[in-house]
Amino acid sequence: MAVMDVVKYGNPILRKKCAEVTDFDSLPELVNNMFDTMYEEEGVGLAANQVGLNLKLMIIDVSHMDEAEETHVFVNGKITDSWGESIIEEGCLSIPEVRLEVKRPEFIKFKYKTMGGEKKEEEFSGLLARAIQHENDHLNGIFIIDRVSPIVRMQVKKQLKEITKESGINRKNKDRKISFVL
């Protein structure tokens, strides 16, 4: 088991558009470590740049909220279509303690590669579609705070400043209640 440090808001890698994965051979070990990290941090999704890696790679496991679900690994993903609308409260492992109601399309069409390099394009809905959009945002340098109104953003400005200040220091958040943190 290898738990990596989750990088926090303020670290420049989280504002980068991540690079396509070309070396698929190194993925299994990396993905294993990402799952260890995500479970340790009690998240339901994790993007590679959240552990400091400039790679278009994300993992998701919403099975504790939706029993029909399983674990997912998406490589070089791209949202090709979206429709509908829903508002759900989201948290983010890179912005500890901040929860924001984020409006997003309810359904997406997502093109990606599997860990084995197989090309796929599928439609997703519900929590999984939500998680994919959150992680896909990370891989494009976008945070949940970019998805809310300027007024809401103002309300968390102080917290963001503190997180930026402490960025790089791995702090544990003991009473983080699991809702939807990715």
Nearer to Zn ion, 24 or 86 (CB): 86
Alpha carbon distance 25, 51 (integer Å): 19
For position 181 contacting Zn ion by CB under 5 A, the verdict is no
89, 106, 135, 162: which is the annotated catalytic residue?
Answer: 135
Q: Which residue is nearest to Zn ion (CB)?
A: 92
Nearer to Zn ion, 30 or 145 (CB): 145
Interface pattern 2-41 for Zn ion (x via CB under 5 A): ----------------------------------------
Looking only at residues 84 through 113 of this chain, which bind Zn ion when binding is defined by CB under 5 A? 92
Say how many C-beta atoms besides its own lie within 10 A of residue 158's C-beta.
Answer: 9
Nearer to Zn ion, 31 or 93 (CB): 93
Q: Which helix (H) or strand (E) holds 84?
A: none
Among candidate residues 109, 100, 106, 83, the one with its CA nearest the CA of residue 143: 100
Known catalytic membership, residue 135 = yes
Nearer to Zn ion, 24 or 88 (CB): 88
Among candidate residues 74, 110, 177, 95, the one with its CA nearest the CA of residue 143: 95
The residues carrying an active-site annotation are 135
Contacts with Zn ion by CB under 5 A lie at 92, 182
